Amino acid sequence: GEDVEQSLFLSVREGDSSVINCTYTDSSSTYLYWYKQEPGAGLQLLTYIFSNMDMKQDQRLTVLLNKKDKHLSLRIADTQTGDSAIYFCAETLYGNNRLAFGKGNQVVVIP
Amino acid sequence: EPEVTQTPSHQVTQMGQEVILRCVPISNHLYFYWYRQILGQKVEFLVSFYNNEISEKSEIFDDQFSVERPDGSNFTLKIRSTKLEDSAMYFCASSEAVRDRGAFFGQGTRLTVV
């Protein structure tokens, strides 16, 4: 079954890069996602990567996927105060349309 | 930009009462979902709905829960005989297709059972 793990807290200075990590256990994952949750708001889809890709870049966001180690990371370049939020990674499995989420990683950007 | 909307944003109910959480998915989406997040825990899948029927449900989604699409725009989650442990944030989501570009979530309904 799916099990997604994330570290809990990251503090970063404005303008620096931040990297959030996630590990998952199910090798049959087909898509992996990053969601952002700002205080009092819903889950905002940031980006996704298909499991046959190693990397995806989308403006300030870079997703790296190491399928061998089942490790997913999200790098945010030039982190801004608006990036302060909880970031969740999630996966879907082949033949399955449910998302399995990690516990989330809170990112706090210090001005 | 189209978005998923949920009402109410906060619902307080007495234990044993029934609640209905409402959602308006994005209009051209075909797949609808409910998730919940108990405070401090992971976001958990409850149920997915396609073509007017449940396509998948988790072990959490027992007989206490039901979903309905009563008209062309609303998607509801009914929780019968609420328990204290049903207190959570409930998220509705919708997507154009299974998997692919991911699901779009509403802002959530915070359910508090007292």
- Say yes or no to pLDDT of A1 above 60: no
Calculate how close chain A gets to B105, using CA atoms only, in Å: 6
Interval B51-75: pLDDT, tens: 899 999 999 999 999 999 988 789 9
Contact at CB, B58 and A99, closer than 8 angstroms: no
* Residues B4, B34: Cα–Cα separation, whole Å: 12
pLDDT of residue B85: 96
For residue B41, what pLDDT band results from cuts at 50, 70 and 90? Answer: confident
Interval A32-86: pLDDT, tens: 999 999 987 889 999 999 888 899 999 999 999 998 888 999 999 999 999 999 9
Residue of A97, A101, A103, A105 to mutate, testing the B interface (most B Cβ within 10 Å of its Cβ)? A97
Give the helix, strand, coil percentages of chain B, each rounded to 5.
5, 50, 45
pLDDT of residue A41: 81
Task: Indicate the residue of B41, B45, B106 with minimum beta-carbon distance to A99.
Answer: B45
Percent over 90 (pLDDT), chain A? 59
CB < 8 Å to B41, chain A: 103
* Backbone angles phi and psi of B73, in degrees to 5: -125, -30
As a whole number of Å, the CA-based R_g of chain A is 13
* Backbone angles phi and psi of B101, in degrees to 5: -85, 10
**Looking at the complex, does the CB of residue A28 fall below 8 Å from at least one CB of chain B?**
no
pLDDT of residue B100: 61
- Say yes or no to pLDDT of B99 above 70: no
For residue A2, what pLDDT band results from cuts at 50, 70 and 90? Answer: low
pLDDT of residue B86: 97
- Say yes or no to pLDDT of B105 above 70: yes
Contact at CB, A45 and B4, closer than 8 angstroms: no
* Residues A38, A36: Cα–Cα separation, whole Å: 7
pLDDT of residue B102: 79
CB < 8 Å to B102, chain A: 31, 33, 35, 45, 48, 99
For residue A41, count other CB atoms closer than 10 A to its CB: 13
pLDDT of residue B28: 87
